[in-house]
Amino acid sequence: MNKRDYSQGQQSHLLQAFFIQKRVVGALLLREIITRYGRNNVGFMWLLLEPMIFCVGVVILWNTIHKDDGFRVAVTPFIVTGYSCLLLWRNCPARGIKAIEPNRSLLHHRPVKIIDIFIARMMLEIAGVTAAFITVSLAMIGLDLMALPKDLGLIIGGWFYMAWFSACLGTILGCLSEHGELVERLWHPIGYFLLAVSGTFFMVDWLPHNLQQWVLLVPMVHPIEMIRAGYWGDSPHFHYSIWYISIVCLSMSLLALLLMADKRMKMLT
Amino acid sequence: MITLKNIIKRYKSRTGAHTVLNGIDLTVAPGERLGVLGKNGAGKSTLIRLISGQELPDAGTIRRKMKVSWPLAFSGGFQGSLTGLDNLRFLSRVYDVDHEAIQSFVEDFAELGKYFREPVKHYSSGMQARLAFALSLAIEFDCYLIDEIIAVGDARFHEKCMHELFEKRKNRAFVIVSHDPNFIKSYCTRAAVLESGNMTCFNSVPEAYDYYMNDVLYAGSGHAGSS
């Protein structure tokens, strides 16, 4: 009964639903860009510029602080990899929280589902940060502040997990935030605390052994380590488990889907 | 064909669950104009939202074999920060129609003038309703869901809407909910009365009209009755 079942086509239901969803998400993406960045042509460049400015600013800051103290690794790639990941898992929840409320009027239209609103928002956020990550990396390589990565595949893999995790986190927090103020309020301090253990500003190998096992419970640590392993190669030593992060992301996806289904039932009440 | 089977809808309230619709059965055939009468708070809008798929029932099934419009009401369905034109583009993408093909029709019909390019949040409720009407006519649905919207605009605009809906689209199905029995009486081919969660269907519109007038609206003040 929840199917997008008008317009009798020859295609199967699933395929038909897929095309409708693609269309709706596309429409939502355009709408999102217009409402966020305005009508003028360079407006949507902010999607890329916003995270880029953040990233470059922190790179300059860290390079200044650690100019002469012989930091353990090259500062620029360390910050670019860490900070880009941070932007993903910080921005996705920021966009996900209270995502439904301003879009409620769009749900008047049956083809538009809760999941489409989240897909559009998360896609846009991920696209922006990804574009910024690529641009900043290329610029730093061009400026000789970064070398070419050792294993591009590993970086892409790590980034994929980071984006997947962030989209799930954003959607889950977004759904929960519709039920009350608590999530929105708690996420700020929790997000800040997570920053300390997320691996943004350290590598697992630098920690004492007894701490490593605890830090590796934090999901974000794994993709960041993967990305850094892709950049540096074998040394220093990196710690990550593709199994662990896969299971975390799959469970979070399932939870996100359950929450969205629940939301659909409870909307407008 | 739209088929509702044993629909139950409850809302949570401070005093516990409140049953708005308690086992509604309904079919709407192509070309049929169903009017649903009910007092304020009888669950008319809820029924419309369920048929449109905007909300899901707590129990029962709804099948739609027609392209069903969104509920045309005084407000809703638009993104306030977008202009009328942007909303048109958005809905064209969502419902898969060419926005250029419908733009001039909507602009003419809605009579919004320069407001067409202003954010919808600056519209009056009548303007919003006109835009909604124009868009739903342009997108073309097999079944229109209309929630008390009939008194849109001035008399001339009202006439224009009636002409577009009931003359040019007389082969379409309509579900119209209203607390105005006279409107239902003059435009609908079938009528039902919604009362305390239950729906009573009538074979003829005048029958429904009489029942609504005597037994629902003025129950107690005139002669009481039951069915």
Asked whether B73 and B147 are in contact (CB, 8 A), the reply is: yes
* Backbone CA torsion sign across A125, A131, A133, A136: negative
- The pLDDT of residue B220 is 64
A74 lies within 8 A of chain B by CB: no
- The pLDDT of residue B17 is 85
Closest CB to B86: pick one of A26, A34, A269: A34
When pLDDT is averaged across residues A22-33 and rounded to a whole number, the result is 93
Query: Of the ranges A201-210, A231-240, B106-115, which one carries the lowest mean pLDDT score?
Result: A231-240
Min Cα–Cα distance to chain A from B69, Å: 8
The Cα A88–Cα A246 span in angstroms is 17
**Per DSSP, what are the bridge partners of residue B194?**
B199
Per 3-state DSSP, what percentage of chain B is helix, strand, and coil (rounded to 5)?
40, 25, 35
Helix, strand, or coil here: A148?
coil
- Is ipTM > 0.85 here? no
Percentage with pLDDT > 90 across chain B: 38
Per-residue model confidence as pLDDT tens digits over B136-169: 889 989 999 988 866 666 788 888 888 888 889 8
User: A29: nearest CA in chain B?
Assistant: B90
When pLDDT is averaged across residues B118-135 and rounded to a whole number, the result is 89
- The pLDDT of residue A11 is 58
- The pLDDT of residue A265 is 53
User: B72: nearest CA in chain A?
Assistant: A108
User: Which of A30, A229, A104, A213 minimizes the C-alpha distance to B87?
Assistant: A30
- Indicate if the pLDDT at residue A199 is higher than 80: yes
- The pLDDT of residue A159 is 98
By the 10 Å C-beta count (0-12 exposed, 13-18 middle, 19+ buried), A40 is classed as: exposed
When pLDDT is averaged across residues A155-168 and rounded to a whole number, the result is 98
CB contact under 8 A, A1 and B66: no
- The pLDDT of residue A266 is 55
The Cα A108–Cα A102 span in angstroms is 13
Of the pLDDT bands very low, low, confident and very high (cuts 50, 70, 90), residue A138 is very high
CB contact under 8 A, A110 and B53: yes
Min Cα–Cα distance to chain A from B188, Å: 24
By the 10 Å C-beta count (0-12 exposed, 13-18 middle, 19+ buried), B65 is classed as: middle
User: Which of A227, A230, A252, A238 minimizes the C-alpha distance to A162?
Assistant: A227
User: A36: nearest CA in chain B?
Assistant: B81
The Cα B4–Cα A67 span in angstroms is 71
- The pLDDT of residue A202 is 92
- The pLDDT of residue B226 is 44
When pLDDT is averaged across residues B188-208 and rounded to a whole number, the result is 88
When pLDDT is averaged across residues B10-30 and rounded to a whole number, the result is 88
Contacts of A25 in chain B (CB under 8 A): none
Task: State the pairing for strand pair B198-202/B190-195.
Answer: antiparallel
Whole-model pTM: value is 0.87
Asked whether B172 and B142 are in contact (CB, 8 A), the reply is: yes
